[in-house]
């Protein structure tokens, strides 16, 4: 293998599952959701978006990946008043079944024992509807990844805002997974923090149909000096009727 240059090609931070799409809707939009003006995915993507929800929402998403790996996301959003909405969510990510191996007489053989690496997260978000022009939100989560007897866990925090420029255009800003270094002993890992900026533009055709375009851009907050190298862009569109 090749050891990356930390200044040019840093090692992927721990808990990469926190950067996965949390719903089929977000995945179909290319991962863009920060500027989303509504929807249950906002509890995870940008807690500010919760402020506009007017009724209770429950969602469950199950993704199949390669082999036996899968991703599960559950959310429950509840309006507390005309100004505040709470969102509760949970994540379980499994990497499938792996078998122990052992070298015998120059050969690698499978043992009759297996293990399943997995990730977990549970979070609570609160959205505030300040006005038709401005919303804000905060959130906290407990996340853990585990492989055999090795595990790492942390409490992480999110904060975001959502600005409605008019009835068609919104802009969102969120910083995700803020926290201190994680790990035991001498080895400490940085959390998978990410700063994201997103916008959404909706075109209304008739009362019951509209077309929305979304665009997000994000980068790790510690990489501002290398914005061009590390910026990640997501884009998508959806037709609702």
For the whole prediction, is pTM greater than 0.85?
no
pLDDT at 137: 95
The whole-number average pLDDT for the span 162-180 is: 93
pLDDT at position 66 over 90: no
Mean pLDDT to the nearest integer, 49-64:
90
CA 86 to each of CA 19, 37, 55, 83, 129: distance values in angstroms, whole numbers, following the listed order: 22, 16, 11, 10, 12
- The pLDDT confidence band at residue 221, using thresholds 50, 70 and 90, is low
Triad 88, 89, 95: Cα angle to 5°: 165
Query: What integer pLDDT is reported at residue 85 of this predicted model?
Result: 95
Each residue of 160-191: b (16+ CB within 10 Å) or e? bbbbbeeeeebbbbbbbbbbeebeeeeeeebb
Predicted confidence (pLDDT) at residue 105 exceeds the cutoff of 80 = no
How many CB atoms neighbour CB 30 within 10 A?
16
Name which residue leads in pLDDT, 229 or 230: 230
């Amino acid at each position: 293998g090749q050891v990356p240059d930390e200044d040019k090609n840093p090692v992927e931070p721990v808990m990469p599952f926190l950067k996965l799409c949390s719903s089929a809707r977000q995945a179909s939009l290319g991962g863009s959701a920060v500027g989303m003006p509504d929807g249950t995915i906002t509890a995870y993507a940008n807690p500010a978006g919760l402020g506009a929800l007017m009724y209770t929402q429950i969602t469950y998403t199950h993704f199949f990946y390669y082999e036996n790996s899968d991703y599960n996301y559950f959310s429950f959003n509840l309006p507390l008043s005309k100004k505040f909405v709470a969102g509760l969510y949970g994540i379980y990510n499994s990497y499938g079944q792996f078998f122990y191996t052992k070298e015998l007489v120059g050969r690698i053989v499978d043992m009759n024992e297996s293990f399943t690496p997995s990730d977990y997260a549970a979070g609570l978000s609160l959205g505030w509807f300040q006005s038709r022009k401005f919303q804000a939100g905060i959130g906290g989560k407990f996340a853990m990844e585990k492989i055999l007897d090795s595990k790492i866990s942390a409490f992480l925090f999110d904060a975001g805002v959502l600005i409605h420029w008019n009835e068609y255009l919104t802009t969102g800003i969120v910083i995700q997974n803020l926290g201190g270094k994680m790990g035991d002993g001498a080895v400490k890992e940085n959390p998978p923090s990410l700063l994201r900026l997103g916008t959404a533009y909706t075109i209304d055709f008739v009362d019951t149909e509209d077309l929305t375009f979304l665009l997000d851009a994000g980068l790790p907050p510690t990489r501002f000096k290398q914005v061009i190298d590390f910026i990640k862009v997501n884009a998508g569109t959806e037709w609702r009727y």
